A and B are shown apart, each in its own frame.
Chain A
Amino acid sequence: MITNKKPRSSDTDSNYMRDDRTEMSEDDDRSPPSDSIANGSCPTRTCTPGSGSGSGSGSSSIPEYSAPYPDRVLENVLENVLWFLTSRKDRNAASLVCRSWYRVEAMTRSDLFIGNCYAVSPERATSRFTRVRSVTLKGKPRFADFNLMPPNWGAHFAPWVSATAKAYPWLEKIHLKRMSVTDDDLALLAESFSGFKELVLVCCDGFGTSGLAAVASKCRQLKVLDLIESEVSDDEVDWIMCFPDTETCLESLIFDCVECLVDFDALERLVVRSPSLKKLRLNRFVSIGQLYRLMVRAPQLTHLGTGSFSPSEDVAQGELELDYVSAFAACKSLVCLSGFREIVPDCLPAIYPVCANLTSLNFSYANISAEQLKPIISNCHKLQTFWVLDSICDEGLQAVATTCKELRELRVFPFDPREDIEGPVSEVGLQAISEGCRKLQSILYFCQRMTNAAVIAMSKNCPDLVVFRLCIMGRQRPDHVTGEPMDEGFGAIVMNCKKLTRLAVSGLLTDTAFAYIGKYGKIVRTLSVAFAGDSDMGLKYVLEGCPRLQKLEIRDSPFGDTALLSGLHHYYNMRFLWMSACRLSHQGCQQIAQALPHLVVEVIKHEDTVHMDDYADTLYMYRSLAGRRHDVPKFVSIL
């Protein structure tokens, strides 16, 4: 039975909520083929036109339905039904049925997701979708995180904030990833949306504490202010002090990446007057003694980022004597713990009381040993997400494998990210994890040495793997036991892990590895390649074999124009292709641009790379309805 109740906006949140939201990976981001919305707003298939001609079935043998405005009734019904449609994929499909469905879908879409901010212009998006309450925008491609993109490339939030300010004054949520955001943008945001509730900035830059101050002071309904791995400049404005003095609606305040001091007393008062606060992630300028005071004020927290987790320099003595164990014990709802930015290992036992309930633990800034980890991890039976530094060594990973049977996501980061050192984790740790954590779905593993055998073992032991990212830090390192390329290992992953959609490869890889990926990786959507392959065939296998491929990022691999051209049939189905330091020529890129008019083909020039005469340093291309963008910097040429 259809009830007339419209879904509350919080229902649609579930699509975007992940445990700690640092990975805004999409459930499905396939847009309809650009044909359908390329020319204005007419879908290629339309209903039998005609107002008043009854039902749109088009068959004249059916007697006319005699009601006053049949199309309106249909539209009303449709509108009510479509409100319940939350998945982007379903909505995109519905919009293609006929013109009427297209219109109603556009009216009822409340969550606007734009996977590439240059794929469509703000004007176009806001004129199609008129009742949007939440906007998600992604900007730069992922390789920009690793300094492979010169600064000031683009992805400016400014045109979007001004367009949405006009079109959606009732806007409640903005989620941005890898966008350039200025203080002025934030000020405009704060001014324009009176009911604004949720701001999430992931890997963004260009703004500072003065922008945050504007949001804090003007957005009185603010529930969520999450700053995740973003670069925030210190404008010497204490933004925490800018929250209004009254009780706030704050449910989530995440600022662990903000590299400036906040006034602690102001923060404490803020926590006291935020009774709905559930998620609090402090930056490293908060000492453990200060953390204690906050925890005591907010035992209802479910997610806690502990800040430095070490005593401040001047008050050390007093701080060491506080009863941290009780403070943690009082937080009965705590399920997600992170921070530990400057951990003093002696303080670690304080978290024992919460270990048994933890589903997510982030130790990726804590330089702790296996011995220090063991007493903690041995209690974490419910753990599903674990991020850690390789300082725990293979031995630490074995301890994880022994206890954490519910583990779904593991990330092992390197403490010392250099290439030619020994490295504390290896195939031994990977093998142990594969044997102990059978429910594993996502892994990111940095190491110095690996074997095919261990990767093959994981492919068999962990059939639920959706994300497999292995980074052997030494470039082109073979299997360190057999001396062979890592082809067989990655081949086994694509072959055996039937749910795999994201893959990152490394180590010594020949074209064979890519042949495997092309043959078995039928649902792979994201592929990341570096220093791999022998010839054009490698890339060809992938472009010809992976029909679901959406995001392909390649660096320093010997793929040239022939390989690039072999993907012409597929590029409109992709979000983007990135190729840097490969063997592409300007002519090759030009050919693509000419063949595919709805593809924006950017060639980015790097100052410092010594490039061969005609080679294109970096190719970044993406489908777009907006054509070439207007904010192109000097070092980018659009073909």
Chain B
Amino acid sequence: MVYERDLNLEATELRLGLPGTVTEQSEKQKPNSNATKSNKRSLPDMNGESEVRRENSSVSSNDKKSHGQETAPPIKTQVVGWPPIRSYRKNSLQAKKLEAEAAGLFVKVSMDGAPYLRKIDLKVYKGYPELLEVLEEMFKFKVGEYSEREGYNGSEHVPTYEDKDGDWMLVGDVPWEMFINSCKRLRIMKESEARGLGCAV
């Protein structure tokens, strides 16, 4: 990837878009690749998975077009001053969007019995169902149904996390926003070890 940037192959690449529409995409990708500063990737192809997901979820009209080009309407050139939003507002919200996309909230995920850890970006997911699905995929396990009273009853593995206070909590107990703001790392515990967690008191 780094080599590609230096050679600037993108400039000479043939695409269906009009000139000027590529910039958005490459600009969006830059913050992403900066965010993944930790090059601790041991297995690039497995991380490639999460990269693709990131691309899919970043709201870029160009991304959508390149993935579904057959059905997408022709890409319109950017027009000055349209839609009519004052630059102050545009800049404020633009900054927010880029911040949200760039910052990421990367946490380590470990699973009892697995030899290596993974890292995921919590900001990418909209809620618990999505997160759990991703974890299940990543580590090849299944969680049972979550309920407030009984946690993840009936599954071999239980997703837990360490919060800002250093306590180990059950994933799913607090509202999503609160979770992503307080989660420092994830650990998928064996059910036998997880007893004692779950809803407090």
Contact = CB atoms under 8 A, between A and B. Distances in A.
Interface of A: 143, 145-148, 203, 229, 231, 257, 284, 317, 341-342, 344-346, 364-365, 367, 389, 413-421, 446, 471, 473, 475, 530-531, 555-556
Contact of B79 (A257, A317, A341, A475): A475
Nearest to B165: A317
16 contacts: A143-B81, A146-B82, A146-B86, A147-B87, A342-B96, A344-B177, A344-B181, A365-B92, A413-B85, A414-B83, A415-B93, A419-B61, A419-B82, A420-B73, A421-B59, A475-B76
Given A317-B164, A365-B92, A421-B61, A475 B82 contact: yes
Nearest to B100: A367
A446 B83 contact: yes
B81 A418 contact: no
Contacts of A556: 79
Nearest to A415: B93
A146 B175 contact: no
B88 interface: yes
B81 A417 contact: no
Interface of B: 59, 61, 64, 72-73, 75-76, 79-90, 92-93, 96-97, 164, 175, 177-178, 181
Given A344-B181, A367-B93, A418-B61, 9 more contacts: A148-B80, A229-B88, A231-B88, A344-B177, A415-B93, A416-B59, A417-B83, A417-B85, A417-B93
Contacts of B88: 229, 231, 257
Contacts of B175: 346
A197 to B, nearest CB: 27
A-B pairs, top 10 by smallest CB distance, nearest first, are A146-B81, A473-B83, A148-B81, A145-B86, A417-B83, A417-B85, A147-B81, A146-B84, A420-B61, A229-B88
Contacts of A341: 92
A475 B177 CA distance: 36
Contacts of B177: 344-346
Nearest to A469: B84
A419 B61 CA distance: 9
A480 to B, nearest CB: 13
B82 A530 contact: yes
A355 to B, nearest CB: 20
A146 B82 CA distance: 7
Contacts of A473: 82-83
A533 B21 CA distance: 28
Contacts of A475: 76, 79, 82
A284 B181 CA distance: 20
Contact of A414 (B64, B85, B178): B85
Given A147-B81, A346-B181, A471-B84, A416 B97 contact: yes
A99 to B, nearest CB: 45
B64, B72, B93, most chain A CB atoms within 10 A:
B93
A284, A317, A420, A421, most chain B CB atoms within 10 A:
A420
A413, A417, A531, most chain B CB atoms within 10 A:
A417
Nearest to A145: B86
A346 B87 CA distance: 29
A419 B59 contact: no
A257, A317, A419, A555, most chain B CB atoms within 10 A:
A419
A473 to B, nearest CB: 4
Nearest to B84: A146
Given A342-B96, A346-B181, A419 B81 contact: no
A325 B40 CA distance: 44
Nearest to A317: B164
B181 A530 contact: no
A300 B61 CA distance: 47
Given A346-B178, A365-B92, A419 B97 contact: no
A413 B89 contact: yes
Contacts of A231: 88
Nearest to B86: A145
Contacts of B92: 284, 341, 365
A346 B181 CA distance: 10
A365 B61 contact: no
A555 B82 CA distance: 10
Contacts of A284: 92
A458 to B, nearest CB: 20
A341 B88 CA distance: 12
Nearest to A364: B89
Contacts of A413: 85, 89
A345 B178 CA distance: 9
Nearest to A419: B76
B103 to A, nearest CB: 12
A317 B75 CA distance: 46
B86 to A, nearest CB: 5
Contacts of A203: 86
B93 A365 contact: yes
A145 B87 CA distance: 7
Contacts of B72: 420
Contacts of B82: 146, 419, 473, 475, 530-531
A289 to B, nearest CB: 16
Contacts of B181: 344, 346
A147 B80 contact: yes
B86 A229 contact: yes
A417 B90 contact: yes
